[in-house]
Chain A
Amino acid sequence: MSIQAIAENAVAGGRVTADEALRLYLDAPTSMLAEAADAIRARKHPEGIVTYIIDRNVNYTNVCVARCNFCAFYRTVGSSDTYVLAFEEIFRKIDETIAVGGVQLLLQGGHNPDLPLEWYEDLFRAVKRRYPGFKLHALSPPEVIHISRMSRLAVERVIERLMTAGMDSIPGGGAEILVDRVRKQLNCYSKATADEWIDVMRHAHRAGLRTTATMMYGSVDAEADRIEHLLRLRDLQDETGGFTAFITWSYQPENTELGGYERTGIEYLRTLALARIVLDNFDNLQASWVTQGGKVGQLSLLCGANDMGSVMIEENVVRAAGASYCMDEVEIVRNIENLGFVPKRRNMHYERLGDPLFREQDIPRRRALDTAKSDADPLMPDELSRYAARSRSARVMRGQP
């Protein structure tokens, strides 16, 4: 089959094979990929609506034992600049999020050996007591696995307890590339193998949680690895239907142990378009303006994306690796409308919540994303002393034997 025929088949609703996907990715002109992806987007979303969510990316700790070599955010146990957010700090962030119309936190963090399952449960319960309608899109699969290992409980049981405490959905972080050879090179195989990542999502979907799926490409992976990643997601989606959306972004090399260079804007648009073609059972694809900038982020909407992602308010992980773009709601909406689409706010389940909020309320403009810690806040809150630490440095700090 010719490349043109493969693309036409996909536009008509046909499923592409791994070989066909690789041929498209390697050989199809970018305009052909974009046209096909845009046609599929238009078929799935014929009303011309582009959605976005107002939420906040909060990283509750930067302590991490995983030591992925592509990450610029983590700090090792005992480092001088480690932090854990206090519950009160998280409440304050939620207050600020609600004030600008936010509906959830995207809560992720390092694999901190000194935060037991009970800390997460207490946090989630406290959030739900104080903000009953507010959603917690929390803990990527590797974090769930980390908690499972720490607590010596099965993943299913950990998910069940976290759900009982208030976890509403699971973000698709930590997927990187779901190919174990690549994961070993990125030093993230031990935090979660490809199968383990998939299994957490399978358990979550079976438990009734909806989740997202992600792909970080452009580190040590080859094109065929990205195809394999997409097919693994497509297979699980066939099985469970639990993914609400897919988000891809390019590896950000600044300040990382792995180093190297970032993939280009056109490579991003091609990867996004290919994802739209391959992931025929995903309804929603997000634009990663936080890594690509607002301009290429906007052009993503012509390459298969139907969602501008999150207003975000705060971001720490990508910023640590060199990217520092900011788009508030006004800017996101302006970019959507500039392309002739209709902007709608949504929640994590992609239920539409309404028109742009800044047109109904006076919301201050935001020129930069916040960071996790303000100078006034302690790096390690006193309340941690209630929880048993595992590392020697944390035990000393908490006065535990």
Chain B
Amino acid sequence: MATELLSELAAKVAIGERLSIDEGRALLEARDLIQLGMLASDARGRRHGARATFVRVCDVPLGDAAMAELPLETAGELRLVGEPASREDAIEAVRALAARSGSVPVTGFALQTLYDLAGSDDALVGLLASLKAAGLAAVAEASADRIIARGASLAPLVDARMPLARLVVEQPVEAAGAPAWLADLRGLQAESPVIRAVAPLARQQPGDVPTTGFDDVRLVALARLLLDNVESIQANWRRSGAKLAQVTLMFGVDDLDDVPARDPRDLGPRRSSLEEVRRNIRAASLEPAERNARFERLTR
């Protein structure tokens, strides 16, 4: 039964046909991780070929925007981190960093933070427009948990023509609820197609019961198969660690976020973050391609 189902779904994936929530549930119940991974990998391959992208990121604390030393030679994204006290602080930090960023795109902020500063959807559109004028290339992230819990919309981003670099997940998604949850995200993207990437692995792990490797790669694979209107499924290099991040490449991930633009110490050329991420992508039988925050290919 499971084999028949997987063959049937593989045929649908091969011609790019959309999978339903029920089919997502059936994939979960089949518990055949290797076959699921192959399906997701096919879906990734149809969209991205044999290429896996990565971006080297430099986090810049808001207060340091005007003075932090910037690794402009290595970074593909300068990401403002922290909570601005006001709209003006946010705009000023972007302006100060953008003035020193050269050709490296500046991103920053969680969408919820900006909404809290703005107070309404209309005001958020105005704030996003001001941030864009100051040099913000994309909002760094939005929390899927919060957006879905509040029934919020991504429409202000569309209205302001501001890209969303990634949709992130705060708390682990329960397996049984994952297909419906992914369908919600698919609906969100259909309404307001601004999500460039979804990073489905939770940022926070319950101390006593962290997600397992099986939980993680199964969710990644389901995300790739069900989120057919999202370009990239992403894993976070620093949070997941090299080993898990690499394994997710076999389960539908096509983009590795948050590779350090600066190594904490001199590791030598073979052990630098750049070489490590390239080596891991190649060992997953994919071709590494460095990108910037605008998802433009970098040749270095």
- Known contacts: A265-B244, A266-B283. The answer to whether A31 contacts B213 by CB under 8 A is no
How many residue pairs link A and B with beta carbons under 8 A? The number is 86
Interface residues of A in 250-297 (CB under 8 A from B): 253, 259-261, 263-269, 292-297
| Smallest CB separation, A260 vs chain B (Å) | 7
Question: Can you list 6 A-B pairs with a CB-CB distance of less than 8 A?
Answer: A35-B34, A268-B243, A293-B244, A294-B213, A297-B213, A334-B209
Give B268-297 as 1s and 0s: 1 = Cβ < 8 Å from A's Cβ atoms: 101100011001100111000000000000
Size of B's binding interface in residues, CB under 8 A: 33
The reply to whether B241 and A293 form a contact with Cβ atoms under 8 Å apart is yes
- Known contacts: A38-B34, A294-B213, A302-B33. The answer to whether A261 contacts B276 by CB under 8 A is yes
Which stretch of A88-96, A149-157, A205-213, A335-343 is in the interface? A335-343
Q: How large is the interface on A (under 10, 10 to 19, 20 to 34, 35 or more residues)?
A: 20 to 34
Interface residues of A (CB under 8 A from B): 29-31, 34-35, 38, 253, 259-261, 263-269, 292-299, 302, 334-335, 338-340, 365
A265 surroundings in chain B (CB, below 8 A) = 242-244, 246-247, 280
Which stretch of B115-123, B154-162, B214-222, B253-261 is in the interface? B214-222
The reply to whether A299 and B279 form a contact with Cβ atoms under 8 Å apart is no
| Bound-state Cα–Cα, A365 to B209, Å | 12
B270 surroundings in chain A (CB, below 8 A) = 260-261
What does DSSP make chain A's interface, helix, strand, loop or mixed?
helix
Q: Which residue of A lies closest to B276 (CB)?
A: A261
B246 surroundings in chain A (CB, below 8 A) = 264-266
Q: Which residue of B lies closest to A29 (CB)?
A: B285
What does DSSP make chain B's interface, helix, strand, loop or mixed?
helix
The reply to whether B212 and A264 form a contact with Cβ atoms under 8 Å apart is no
The reply to whether A340 and B243 form a contact with Cβ atoms under 8 Å apart is no
| Bound-state Cα–Cα, A259 to B214, Å | 32
- Known contacts: A38-B34, A299-B247, A302-B33. The answer to whether A267 contacts B213 by CB under 8 A is no
B271 surroundings in chain A (CB, below 8 A) = 253, 260-261
Interface residues of B in 205-253 (CB under 8 A from A): 208-210, 212-217, 241-244, 246-247, 249-250
| Smallest CB separation, A364 vs chain B (Å) | 13
| Smallest CB separation, A306 vs chain B (Å) | 16
The reply to whether A296 and B279 form a contact with Cβ atoms under 8 Å apart is no
A263 surroundings in chain B (CB, below 8 A) = 283
- Known contacts: A265-B242, A265-B243, A266-B246. The answer to whether A299 contacts B217 by CB under 8 A is yes
| Smallest CB separation, A221 vs chain B (Å) | 16
